[in-house]
Structure 1
């Protein structure tokens, strides 16, 4: 048996998806993006971002473990492909979901190799193949597994070209196929004219089918549907039946009119139209194919031509006694099609796409193949079918685009959770060929409906499981400009293979909309026959604008009999896996990190051996040195690449770990009995796992202990040293949390006593309000720094505000602040909220957060009308660094993060350890390369950082010392001097970057030997800049407060950058992005602060001086000069 190994192929392309106003939408449009490196002849959506695709063993370029891959996972977020190492040949197989969410691939073909090729799967016959894709939460598919053991688990009968269908008990019904290769047609000797089930019924004995015998020779991939009464409707050739699974009887229904035949090799397509409450009356639509006679044998194939016209007929039948008696209703498509496919859209319309205008399915059998294709005249423009419109007016192709890629035989298509259409494949030939009119096609396209580029409805709080006939509530947001014409659809997206989407299904749900239009109360399908038990996607459509789909992992529950079978199979599968997993030999270990007990913590005994630890391994990223060079290329003003920020896809090529690292570390964990493994992070660069303390001690050759924070009493489970195998050192940066000691609670801004005003106002402060010297308001800052009050105009330019530890930004306090201190602005100006790790932004007069209020009031109050998002990160009660990690990982995964981010929290550099400092700093580098300006308050402890004044050396803060962020110190007074709490100094982890080498060297030369030995003179100097940080007026809890701290300085400076970005975007220029090379190249753009110091550790600290200094950096901003320096 085998479990898959997954290999990432670095084929990344960008896709444009915007959320512009509805009137600015792009309409229907194709986007070409990336390569599958194999023919996607079969496709099935298995998660919000993953599509499993299968081909055949015949020379595709995608490789894994030294041989061709014929299965893969396509990631719709990253637009890349990940190979699957299969055992048997999946050529012309089928598949579907079981009730528990497991995807099963069934059938296939013996491996066929051409002369001179090596068989990668000898003696592994795909005809009885049974492949199990287990549900997996990882967005890139790594650690998702595909179980396959042909020796113990297989079909009862050989099946090539079968159909599979999920039925009312949650199992798969497997229908028809052929037992061995054929020239073109099926025949009596070869036909698998039977049904079987997985998990097995009837003791594993297939049920014979007279219908499948009658419908020869063109009956492969019979079009089959589970009806809401539990029976199965089937179309093969031009014949139809219903099959009663429980009674095992076939009922013959009317033939498709006019001799039109629709199953392979005469491929048309079919779909079950949407089922609507209360009656859920089933209707089936069958389109395309051919009316060529079926009175032929394989000896007659030479009489067929690639130029024989396909059929343009669509036939529709209502599957009630009255509808069956009435028979088929005939309509006609705008053009004929063979091998088309139909996709149910969430609004109930049917998209008909792909195929040719003449010929047949299969490869190189007709008398005049086009290259190797039996078909010709590709139909390149899709068409929509409106099942609710009157006969004669149901087809519409207005606004639908035309592709330049022919999708002929062996192509696939699927609706995606995002609401757009995945299109891939096409290979009407044997092997890989590129010189024919219809070559092997590896390019991926998305067909984007008009709603992909407008503001869309959204859902939240969607349940993972829903019981039949249950009522459940979903929160919704409906964009302005849409009314409340709503449809709610529950969908199975189906398995695409050979012009048919097996198990595809749409059930409209009954619902009521709340009076405030914020919630929908829905009623689940009434029973397991209307919607067979299993996974589903929920969509909301408002005025034909459709939301993203929300995944429901299970509708209803397994029936008892089925559940027993599934559990039995799973037990056998995992037992087989365990039997081939040897106990690993002990490897040579190397110490990864070690430290002493931090001064603010004390040992508190050994935790219980079974206490669970959530650990994560930082995998070594592929080429961060090259990414750093790219960052400086796009961020240094005199570079030819200045401003050409990298895309998410481009940084992914640098930041993704190698396949070897992923596999090697995963195998080490699995070999040591660790099974709860998840690959995570924006670049699949973290492996998360849960183990007991005893297992962690064994795995890392360490001793986890309880530690207590002396002041707060908070407890952590940590270790002072851990090791990893020596051979894993090139693959692992660190394991976290191990030696990082971070108190989970962050500092809040200091409530300040007013500072006496300066005796004189400087020239630049003339015209400022009289009380600016003792009380700082937006008007003071506008006057001091020349910040304009004119509104921003670019909605795409955003500023983000980080929020941690249950700091809630209050809307009412913001309204009071603006009304009092920015009366020229609308009092309704507000911010959006983004939640990470379950973060909330609870409202209430007793819940005001000083830090959160300060940050949002001085971003919205200074960066006038710049869209602001408050990013609230859930409380990291056991890992104070976890929020920092998850925040930056989330932003790195976003296609359009805010262009400016301000954060008013920091750690002492030694809290995290150098490995974690470097890892987080590299994540900031990655975001900076994409054009994001990251600003952090430098800290409020002077040179003591967060340590007591008894410290014996200066304490730099993190991330202040990271060279890829902009650290902001504090000043005070109108005639500005350094705020004495402004932390600054020199990193003990990061070396001095070249952009500050000259100015820092000049400062150190002037400093001489003062405090020599108390700091790392070769380290990165910080802060970089400064802004006001004392006597800052805010509104909090319906009262006026004055606060102090660099917590105020960072949002003030960030607002300046956001306003400059607004003007740059308006002028068609790129935003500033990573700031520091630009800032240090333009020292004239700052008001130099030359007075004050930042005492600590029993010293006077560093003195402020002319030019850069480690208290106020380059100084405070001069908006007009910065704007000029930016080229405006």
Structure 2
């Protein structure tokens, strides 16, 4: 097998400024199937720097800052054209959560104040003639700092939130009176709460057996949501320091590879100490954690395997890249999440290669000129870049007289695999099926200037994340099995692959499909898994 070594090629990735200002601070981000990104922050800090169009204004007698507001707090950004337009959101989306339904509609849940019981939906549209639809009092409990996870049956489970030790479900066709619409107690969330509430935005991932992995504070369990029972509890993460908000470490579920027995593994990196939030009030900005912990969930006696990042990090985002690497981006090296609560921004992303020798897994990338602290976010887009926005560690927009001004800009980071030096190895999909079924064979055709016969070609599906507050909800990669490559013309190849085995491995919905040749991914194309 031949694989190009990207991390040690000498290329450290490239940053590009896309917009000096998009008018809002991108606190929450979600890529949709039409390559448009929904971004939003909150409504209760006053005016943004982007006006609503068509003479629209938000009239909200419950708003804590401004009852009449004619500015936008959400935008729709077009990846292909690098343009954006304002969206109208009525209720407060501060510190909310989201997931995408199998039909591609974003379901966005909760928030603060008059938004804490609201469900909002946004369906992908071809033009800019779409907007949020809001359903007041659709949630049974207040959901502020909750986590959403799409399930194999198309429902969304909404877990936790501030002072909420429970979960509930959303299904498009369910009514509040139906048996599927109720609140279920989850004692694990009560047990993991401490004085700083370091179990907010609990880390949740759907496991290949259909159960949930839930991490809160320092503890984690496998949870059967159908029977409302804990199946397994793991040892507390080494070091005894919390990793959830406001300590704000980050977590990924490693790619699920169908070419071998699937052994789900998660990794958690960074975070702040248990007392960091209280220490900030006394003027002390404590060094963040530099450790990462890996856990193989199905091991008979699972234990945390700890590694060290090149630098400490809090409030960073972790994203799966299509070539198996993981990028760790944004954040600070001291302090914690919260207003004015961090110092020493970390502007250099890390690339983590889980297949390298342990001493060579981390590579330090080029630095952005812009700090990305509290209320920043990052997502992977279909061309392989990472979109980065946000950073507002203040109660209001504040652009002067502070150490870290509010940042309304939008950047992209191009990982090393996008360097022109790898263009001769880069596959380009020219034909593929738009719909993929479970366990069914399908084909696609790609071109590549130089095909390495000794390399492995793989086909991957990536479910885009809803990213906010250092956690990329619903992020998922599946490596498909049965990949066979045949040459059909000069520099042109056909790949046969098999759709995912089960809905538990890959819930139905819209995924980005990538072909990876010799460690170099194609641009992603959208397929519907059903």
Same fold (TM over 0.5): yes
Are 2:248 and 2:470, in contact at CA under 8 Å, matched by a contact in 1? yes
The residue number in structure 1 matching 2:98 is 95
Name the residue aligned to 2:476.
Answer: 505
Distance in 2, Cα, partners of 1:531 & 1:396: 30
**Cα distance per residue 1:119-155 (max 9 Å; x no partner):** xxxxxx110121111132x1xx4123422132xx611
In structure 2, the partner of 1:270 is 251
Q: How does 1:553-952 map to 2 (within 5 A)?
A: 554-556=528-530
Equivalent residue, structure 2, for 1:897: none
Which residue in 2 is equivalent to 1:211? 188
Query: In the alignment, what sits opposite 1:280?
Result: 262
For 1:485, the equivalent position in structure 2 comes to 456
- Contact 2:280-2:341 at 8 Å conserved across structures: no
Partner in structure 2 of residue 171 of structure 1:
155
CA distance in structure 1 between the aligned counterparts of 2:283 and 2:255, rounded to whole angstroms: 36
Inter-partner Cα distance in structure 1 for 2:458 and 2:309: 26
- State whether residues 169 and 180 of structure 2, in contact with CA within 8 Å, keep that contact through their aligned partners in structure 1: no
Do 1:306 and 1:375's aligned partners in 2 also have CA atoms closer than 8 Å?
A: no
SS at match of 2:418: helix
Asked if the contact 1:40–1:442 (Cα under 8 Å) also holds between the matched residues in 2, the reply is: yes
Report the Cα distance in structure 2 between the residues aligned to 1:304 and 1:227, rounded to whole angstroms.
41
Distance 1:335 1:195 in 2: 36
Cα RMSD (Å): 2.0
Shift of 1:172: 1.0
Shift of 1:520: 0.4
Q: Structure 2 CA distance, aligned partners of 1:145 and 1:39?
A: 19
Q: Residue 206 of structure 1: CA displacement?
A: 1.0
Q: 2:271 aligns with which of 289, 295, 309?
A: 289
- Mapped to 2, the partners of 1:26 and 1:256 lie a distance apart of 34
Partner SS, residue 467 of structure 2: strand
Give 1:25 deviation, angstroms.
11
Partner SS for 1:257: coil
Offset, 1:302: 6.2
322, 330, 347: which is aligned to 1:380? 347
State how 1:1052-1091 maps to structure 2 within 5 Å: none
**Quick check: 1:306–1:358 contact (8 Å CA) kept in 2?**
no
1:63 partnered with 2:51:
yes
Deviations 1:927-952 (A, max 9, x none): xxxxxxxxxxxxxxxxxxxxxxxxxx
> Is residue 94–residue 495 contact of structure 1 (8 Å, CA) maintained in 2?
yes
Specify every segment of 5 or more residues in structure 1 that has no aligned partner in the other structure, as ranges: 1-23, 111-124, 179-190, 364-372, 557-1128
Q: Deviation of residue 105 (structure 1)?
A: 0.7
Spell out, residue by residue over 1:715-764, the C-alpha distance to the aligned partner (whole angstroms, 9 max, x if none): xxxxxxxxxxxxxxxxxxxxxxxxxxxxxxxxxxxxxxxxxxxxxxxxxx
Q: Would the aligned equivalents of 2:120 and 2:134 in 1 still touch at CA under 8 Å? A: yes
**1:469 aligns to what?**
439
Summarize the alignment of residues 334-483 of structure 1 with structure 2, pairs less than 5 Å apart. Answer: 334-363=310-339, 373-397=340-364, 400-435=365-400, 436-454=402-420, 455=423, 456-480=426-450, 482-483=452-453
Deviations 1:875-934 (A, max 9, x none): xxxxxxxxxxxxxxxxxxxxxxxxxxxxxxxxxxxxxxxxxxxxxxxxxxxxxxxxxxxx
1:514-529 paired onto structure 2 within 5 Å: 514-516=486-488, 518-529=493-504
Could you tell me which residue of structure 2 aligns to residue 244 of structure 1?
224
1:287: how far off? Answer: 0.5
Q: Report the alpha carbon displacement of residue 395 of structure 1 after superposing the two structures with TM.
A: 1.2
Tell me the equivalent position of 1:30: 15
Summarize the alignment of residues 144-223 of structure 1 with structure 2, pairs less than 5 Å apart. Answer: 144-150=130-136, 154-178=138-162, 191-199=163-171, 202-216=179-193, 217-223=197-203
Q: d(CA) in 1 for partners of 2:389 and 2:383?
A: 17
**1:218 Cα deviation after fit:** 1.1
**SS across alignment from 2:336:** strand
| 1:662-700: CA deviation from partner (whole Å, max 9, x where unpaired) | xxxxxxxxxxxxxxxxxxxxxxxxxxxxxxxxxxxxxxx
Which residues in structure 2 correspond to 1:998-1037 (within 5 Å)? none
Contact 2:280 2:335 in 1 (8 A): no
Partner of 2:118: 129
Paired with 2:316 and 2:264, the residues of 1 have a C-alpha distance of 22
Instruction: Indicate the residue corresponding to 1:74 in structure 2.
Output: 77
TM-score normalized with structure 1 length: 0.42
Alpha-carbon distance change, 25 to 309 in structure 1, aligned in 2, over 3 angstroms: closer
Taking the aligned partners of 2:104 and 2:33, their CA distance within structure 1 comes to 10
Distance 1:326 1:242 in 2: 12
In structure 1, how many angstroms separate the alpha carbons of the residues matched to 2:291 and 2:372? 20
Aligned to 1:314: 292
Change (3 A) 1:48 1:475: same
Q: Which has more strand, going by share of residues?
A: 2
TM-score for the superposition, normalised by structure 2: 0.88
Give unpaired runs (5+ residues) of structure 2: 1-8, 58-69
Asked if structure 2 preserves the Cα contact closer than 8 Å seen for 1:25 and 1:453, the reply is no
What is the DSSP-based 3-state SS (H/G/I as helix, E as strand, rest coil) of the residue aligned with 1:213?
Answer: helix
Give the distance between the partners of 2:415 and 2:181, measured in 1 at CA. 44
Give the SS at the match of 2:266: strand
Offset of 1:378 from its aligned partner? 0.4
Contact 2:33 2:104 survives alignment (8 Å): no
User: Where does residue 213 of structure 2 map in the other structure?
Assistant: 233
- The question of whether the paired residues in 2 share the 8 Å contact of 1:237 and 1:261 is answered with yes
Decide whether the 8 Å contact of 1:39 with 1:54 is kept in 2: yes
Counterparts in 2 of 1:542 and 1:273: CA distance versus 1, 3 Å: same
Paired position in structure 1 for 2:237: 256
CA–CA distance in 2 between the matches of 1:163 and 1:254? 22
Q: How many matched pairs? A: 484
Q: Is the 8 A contact 1:379 1:406 kept in 2?
A: yes
In structure 2, the partner of 1:1000 is: none
Deviation at 1:38, TM superposition (A): 0.2
Distance 1:93 1:478, change over 3 A: same
Say if 1:144 and 1:279 are closer, same or farther in 2 by CA, change over 3 A: farther
Indicate conservation of the 8 Å contact 2:334/2:343, yes or no: yes
CA distance in 1, matches of 2:100, 2:461: 15
Q: Tell me: CA distance 1:49–1:321, structure 2 relative to 1, closer, same or farther (3 Å).
A: closer
1:170, distance to aligned residue in structure 2 (A): 1.7
- Which of 512, 517, 521 pairs up with 1:542? 517
Relative to 1, partners in 2 of residues 1:306 and 1:224: Cα closer, same or farther, differing over 3 Å? Answer: farther
Question: Structure 2 CA distance, aligned partners of 1:490 and 1:286?
Answer: 22
Kept in 2: contact 1:305–1:374 (CA 8 A): no
Secondary structure of the corresponding residue to residue 96 of structure 1: strand
